Copies of this chain bind each other. A is one copy, B any other.
Amino acid sequence: MANKFKINKEKVFINGTSADVSVPFDKLTLSNNETILLPTVEGREPQANVLPTIKAPWIAQRKGSKAKTQMDYAKEGIITKEMEYVAIRESYACGDDMCFTPEMVAQEVAKGHAVIPANINHTECEPMIIGKKFSVKVNANIGASAVSSGYDEEIAKLKLALKHGADTVMDLSTGTDLMPLREAILRASPVPIGTVPIYEALDRVSGDSGALTWDVFKQVIIDQAKQGVDYFTIHAGLRRDLLEHAAKRLMGIVSRGGSIMASVMLRHDAENMAWEHFDELMEICHEYDVALSLGDGLRPGALKDACDEAQYGELKYIGELALRCREANVQCFIEGPGHVPLHRVYENQDLEDELCHEAPFYTLGPLVTDIAPGYDHITSAIGACNIAHRGTAMLCYVTPSEHLALPTPDDVKVGLITYKLAAHAADIAKGLKNAQLRDDMLSKARVEFRWYDQFALSLDPEHAYEVWKAQMPEDCAHEPSFCSMCGPRFCPMRLNRRLKAQYNVK
């Protein structure tokens, strides 16, 4: 029987120009002593159950400066510690040379083509960047609903999401008394946390959208900004004139936040309150450097509704808001679909680039067919990989339980691994320098029968090992030169050794 599989992995830190910029990586050492740095989002070890507040000294040093957001600094030509940090983080696979310099990061942030979600009150957060020129990011949604799941489960899901590489996490909890759960999530999270504040606003008026006013909504936004939320999904582009188009759809409005905003507009016979009060909203976001994730309340919920007047009309309004953010030095990115047939996926990215002035795009899939509930992590990963290849900066994962139920912990894991592989495949297709290095090392391990190295380099080592082990003969060697797919006689890998010898190839 093969020995128990164990990965030779240690946490290493790469330092910047000062000791307080120090970026953690997982350093993997293979059985042939080759090494590779792999990115990690798990951050630092908690001290007495508390995450180190790595950003606290950076922010303290900047006190008194007028500028407050990363975009302010970038436009002033100031390289922040956050920018230096993400440059190191993005360059992980590039060896000694930085493929992404802090200056390049600053330029992208200044132009509004990239975002570093970095609430000054989320000091535990290890900075990361969302932008077309950088590696594709993956967001994982967690959150309790009134029907399902509780407090401890959600913290466990956060940890699970981090283990499997979530670059950001959205807390989409609905229900009552949401502040303490969010506080716990923020304090436990080394990645940026996003929320949809309208959920809590609706809860504060006991679910009565007729009582949901701007004052209530604004107070929620302030409270959450103070807690340290790094980005807010606000459906400010869902203007009232679009509702008529939404009403004609097969699926209408499928965004929860969008449907609340629509409900408020109908009940109050008024324009979208976030559109009306957008300056106030930006002021709060600027104060704490909360990034705005301009929500697509009219994202299509079925192929039939894709690319229609409702969706693209909203995108046009969102583009106007993106420009206003850029002028106000508020960081923002743009949410996208949804359900889109494959032949129209690129069109969505291209139109977003045009209408939203190349602000980063952040999509939910899109799903390329409606007929596979239970497998929508896959239907959506197909669309996600394509749209990321075209330029989408961040992908919101979809789990196998989408359309059916709240994700279980196993769904969180499967959803994340599915999206990490889609994001990675897109990085390769985008031509990111050295994105393929890990693939080549894994394939080399495969051809050389270094099974454990192959598993160690894969996105889910334990799972790969278990599948392989289950069918290997009990009495085979530690790392046998075949597997159960072909058996020893038919293994093509062994022919390759003769081939190389024959043609004198090293």
A interface residue numbers (CB < 8 A to B): 145-148, 174-175, 199, 202, 207, 243-244, 246-248, 250-256, 258-260, 262-263, 266, 301-304, 341-343, 368-375, 377-379, 381-382, 385-386, 389, 400-406, 417-418, 421-422, 424-426, 428-431, 436, 438-440, 442-444, 446-447, 454-455, 457-460, 463-464, 467-468, 470-473, 482-490, 492-493, 495-496, 498-500, 502-503, 505
Contact = CB atoms under 8 A, between A and B. Distances in A.
Contact of A428 (B207, B303, B440): B303
A247 B497 CA distance: 9
A187 to B, nearest CB: 26
Given A243-B503, A429-B368, A405 B443 contact: no
Contact of A486 (B145, B401, B418): B145
17 contacts: A146-B490, A246-B499, A248-B505, A250-B444, A252-B447, A253-B496, A259-B492, A303-B439, A304-B436, A368-B428, A371-B438, A372-B459, A373-B464, A378-B418, A378-B422, A379-B425, A405-B485
Contact of A247 (B429, B472, B505): B505
A384 to B, nearest CB: 9
A301 B443 contact: yes
Nearest to A247: B503
B375 A459 contact: yes
Nearest to A499: B247
A460 B372 contact: yes
A465 to B, nearest CB: 9
Contacts of A202: 489-490
Contact of A425 (B382, B405, B489, B502): B382
B495 A253 contact: yes
B418 A374 contact: no
A154 to B, nearest CB: 14
A174 B482 CA distance: 14
A471 B250 contact: no
A251 B174 CA distance: 50
Given A303-B440, A405-B484, A502-B266, A492 B255 contact: yes
A329 B46 CA distance: 71
B259 A341 contact: no
A425 B244 contact: no
Residue of A436, A438, A496 with highest tally of chain B CB at under 10 A: A496
A368 B258 CA distance: 35
A404 B370 contact: no
Nearest to A301: B443
B266 A421 contact: no
A233 B247 CA distance: 53
A174 B492 CA distance: 13
Given A262-B495, A503-B247, A147 B371 contact: no
B302 A439 contact: yes
Contacts of A500: 247, 252
Contacts of A382: 381-382, 385-386, 422, 425
Given A378-B421, A440-B250, A148 B471 contact: yes
